[in-house]
């Protein structure tokens, strides 16, 4: 029982006791007063009647007639005349009057006042003794009326006091509820401050808790800043700030494997030719300045183009990946101009004749393997090195790729996707997410759609990397995502196992999506508790409020929400603790090779500590090496997915 409820019960019991005590005390005082009045009335009436009898000259008939007339007025319960020798000369007894008072009151409260006694005489002759009792029904009626009035007044006062007490408790409860909400938010990794209460004790407590929350927030921000430094040390080149070769390759492999994005992209390789000769002629500091300027130009490009990647592959080689089709020539031209302008400032202009750059670029289908990307790009770079001038450039556009691109044109794609949804040609492909004991945490379920060309009798189930870009372009992501959630609910109904499905960022922007999603989840409330929804970490960066609204909309239904492909973008989300997340999946580029790189393992360990401090479950994506899996578990991750998890599925 809560403290406020206990105080409310205590106040209620106190008021009940006060009410009962007031009624009993008032009733007791009234009973004593009525008994005293009855006693006096009996005595007075007996004396008055005795005086009247004494004036009748001792005539017994007249005396009896006078007593009968007096008794018949109805105000008496009994009237007796005893002679001087003790014999009974006259007696009248009336039945007890009903009155308004209930019978239980007569049984519970006694008003048995003593009878009034008076001596009868006629001159000097004693006629005996008179005993008179007044009717008690009127006294019980007066007692009952008095008790009712007392009870009503006491009850009204008690209710008024209870209302005032509840109002005061409400004033106390509001800051207490705010403190409870603050504590709950802190337990979930959210740093919320509350308005200080007007109650002195609560104000001191509120100020103390607010101070503690702010200190924890500053500590978290310091940890995040330290985490950024660790990431820079583990993943980035100290001179240029670009990704190191291992991290760049991991980022590129992850980008190629993702479902979203265009079907074609570009890779540019840049080489500072004859680095040893440049270093010898210009000196180390000037050469470092040249390399830093190259890195600055590449970084500026990645800041302008969302999703692009830049890295330093070795001392003289750089790479730039552009996730967009038909931008190779324009990007290469813009990059060449930026590089030439930057190099004009290098070494005070004295190194122009020494510095020679080669730029080779290719545009390929994103479905091609990483080895083919670098094979084609290396060939273009080799041709560029043979060209004269300060910057040789060779660009190639290689056709081919995924032959499963069935329809051509947006209309054909839309028709294919709508047909697949209407005919139920979709399936969730389950991939296990295992914990350290190789127990299943949940199934990661990307959606495959069954698309068929006009000449095909049966559809081919293709991954989202094939159809998702066109679904986004044709505005069908809402229908696709709702179909995926519906399929997950249907499978959960069969086996009760938790499943996570991906939501496209474009769906979150659709006005009616959240309402339809909640209605779908509410239709199967038991299964909904086993559903997890994943959004890309980039969506949390660009659509923070929409992801926050998603969490608020589905959490009351028991649905879990998490981020996938999380890496360096986590540090850019300033209010990560306010998103209301349940888990975070670290991108393959972050966790790849941690077994052989202590700095990368240290970064992952620090990242896990920060995420755990926000009460978030941490899962590593794309783990394919057993040694990496063991190191990641040692770093504190809660689960693993990827080829390693698939091979160790129980």
Tens-place pLDDT, residues 288-328: 888 998 898 888 888 877 778 999 999 899 999 998 888 88
Give per-residue pLDDT as tens, 500-523.
999 998 899 998 999 999 999 999
Q: pTM of the full predicted structure?
A: 0.68
List strand residue ranges (DSSP E) for 15-124, in order: 76-82, 88-93, 116-122
Q: Round to whole Å and give the CA distance between 109 and 23.
A: 13
Radius of gyration of the chain (CA): 47
Q: Which of 63-77, 328-342, 497-511 has the lowest mean pLDDT?
A: 63-77
**Any residues with CB less than 8 A from the CB of 283 and at least 6 apart, and which?**
none
Give the pLDDT mean for 383-408. 71
**pLDDT at residue 347 above 60?**
no
Residue with tokens 């770079």: 381
Supply the pLDDT for residue 403.
Answer: 45
Token pair for 37: 């009045």
Q: Which of 305-319, 336-350, 380-394, 460-474 has the lowest mean pLDDT?
A: 336-350
Q: Which of 143, 636, 234 is nearest to 435 (CA)?
A: 636
Give per-residue pLDDT as tens, 236-272.
888 888 998 988 988 888 888 777 667 788 999 999 8
**Any residues with CB less than 8 A from the CB of 362 and at least 6 apart, and which?**
266, 267, 328, 373, 376, 377, 380, 395, 396, 397, 398
The torsion region of residue 390 among left (phi > 0), alpha (psi -120 to 50) and beta comes to: alpha
- Describe the chain by its helix, strand, coil percentages, rounded to 5: 55, 20, 25
Cβ–Cβ < 8 Å for 259, 466: no
Cβ–Cβ < 8 Å for 164, 80: no
CA distance readout (Å), 215 to 176, 208, 584: 21, 11, 25
Q: Which of 590, 563, 594 is nearest to 579 (CA)?
A: 563
Residue 540 DSSP class = H
b/e per residue, 479-508, with b = 16+ CB within 10 A? bbbbbbbbbbbebbeeeeebbbbbbbbbbb
pLDDT confidence band for 405 (50 / 70 / 90): very low
**pLDDT at residue 473 above 80?**
no
* Sign of CA pseudo-dihedral 587, 536, 546, 446: negative
Supply the pLDDT for residue 400.
Answer: 61
> What is residue 365's three-state secondary structure?
strand
pLDDT confidence band for 457 (50 / 70 / 90): low
**pLDDT at residue 361 above 70?**
yes
Task: Classify residue 85 as exposed, middle or buried by CB count within 10 Å of its CB (0-12, 13-18, 19+).
Answer: exposed
Domains of the chain (ranges; CATH) run 3-159 (3.30.450), 264-397 (3.30.70.270), 410-647 (3.20.20.450)
Supply the pLDDT for residue 41.
Answer: 85
Q: Which of 360, 11, 372 is nearest to 166 (CA)?
A: 11
Vertex 610, ends 437 and 638: CA angle to 5°?
A: 10
**pLDDT at residue 189 above 70?**
no
């Amino acid at each position: 029982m809560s403290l406020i409820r206990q105080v409310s019960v205590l106040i209620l019991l106190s008021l009940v006791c006060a009410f009962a005590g007031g009624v009993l005390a008032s009733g007791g005082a009234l009973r004593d007063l009525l008994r005293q009045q009855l006693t006096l009335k009996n005595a007075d009436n007996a004396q008055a009647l005795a005086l009247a009898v004494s004036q009748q000259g001792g005539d017994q008939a007249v005396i009896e007639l006078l007593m009968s007339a007096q008794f018949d007025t109805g105000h008496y319960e009994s009237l007796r005349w005893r002679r001087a020798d003790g014999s009974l000369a006259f007696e009248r007894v009336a039945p007890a009057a009903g009155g308004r008072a209930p019978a239980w009151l007569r049984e519970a409260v006694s008003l048995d006042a003593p009878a009034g006694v008076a001596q009868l005489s006629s001159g000097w002759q004693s006629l005996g003794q008179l005993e008179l009792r007044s009717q008690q029904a009127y006294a019980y009626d007066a007692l009952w009326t008095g008790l009712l009035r007392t009870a009503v007044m006491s009850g009204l006062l008690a209710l008024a006091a209870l209302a005032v007490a509840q109002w005061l408790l409400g004033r106390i409860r509001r800051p207490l509820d705010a403190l409870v909400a603050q504590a709950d938010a802190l337990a979930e990794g959210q740093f919320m401050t509350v308005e200080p209460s007007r109650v002195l004790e609560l104000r001191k407590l509120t100020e103390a808790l607010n101070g503690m929350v702010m200190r924890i927030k500053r500590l978290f921000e310091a940890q995040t800043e330290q985490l950024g430094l660790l990431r820079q040390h583990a993943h980035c080149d100290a001179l240029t700030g670009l990704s190191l070769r291992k991290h760049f390759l991991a980022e590129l492999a992850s980008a190629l494997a993702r479902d979203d994005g265009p079907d074609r992209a570009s890779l540019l390789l840049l080489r500072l030719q004859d680095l040893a000769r440049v270093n010898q002629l210009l000196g180390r500091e000037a050469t470092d300045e040249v390399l830093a300027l190259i890195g600055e130009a590449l970084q500026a490009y990645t800041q302008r183009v969302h999703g692009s990647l830049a890295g330093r592959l070795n001392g003289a080689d750089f790479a730039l990946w552009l996730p967009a089709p038909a931008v190779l020539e324009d990007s290469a031209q813009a990059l060449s101009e930026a590089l030439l302008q930057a190099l004009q400032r290098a070494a005070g202009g004295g190194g122009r004749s020494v510095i020679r750059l080669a730029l080779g670029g290719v545009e390929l289908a994103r479905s091609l393997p990483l080895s083919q990307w670098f094979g084609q790009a290396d060939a273009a770079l080799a041709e560029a090195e043979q060209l004269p001038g300060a910057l040789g450039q060779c660009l190639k556009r290689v056709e081919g790729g995924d032959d499963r691109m069935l329809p051509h044109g947006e209309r054909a794609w839309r028709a294919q996707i709508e047909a697949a949804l209407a005919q139920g040609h979709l399936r969730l492909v389950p991939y296990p997410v295992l914990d350290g004991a190789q127990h299943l945490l949940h199934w990661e379920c990307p959606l495959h759609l069954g698309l068929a060309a006009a000449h095909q009798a049966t559809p081919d189930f293709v991954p989202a990397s094939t159809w998702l870009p066109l679904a986004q372009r044709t505005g069908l992501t809402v229908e696709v995502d709702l179909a995926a959630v519906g399929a997950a609910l249907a499978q959960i109904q069969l086996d009760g196992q938790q499943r996570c499905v991906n939501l496209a960022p474009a769906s979150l922007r659709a006005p009616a999506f959240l309402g339809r999603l909640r209605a779908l989840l509410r239709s199967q409330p038991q299964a909904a508790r086993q559903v997890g929804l994943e959004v890309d970490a980039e969506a949390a960066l660009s659509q923070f409020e929409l992801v926050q609204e998603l969490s608020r909309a589905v959490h009351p239904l028991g649905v879990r929400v998490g981020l996938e492909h999380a890496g360096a973008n986590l540090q850019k989300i300033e209010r990560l603790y306010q998103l209301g997340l349940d888990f975070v999946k670290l991108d393959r580029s972050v966790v790849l090779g941690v077994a052989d790189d202590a700095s990368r393992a240290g970064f992952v360990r620090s990242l896990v500590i920060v995420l755990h401090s926000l009460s978030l479950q941490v899962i590593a994506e794309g783990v394919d090496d057993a040694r990496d899996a063991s190191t990641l578990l040692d770093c504190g991750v809660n689960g693993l997915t990827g080829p390693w998890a698939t091979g160790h599925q129980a």
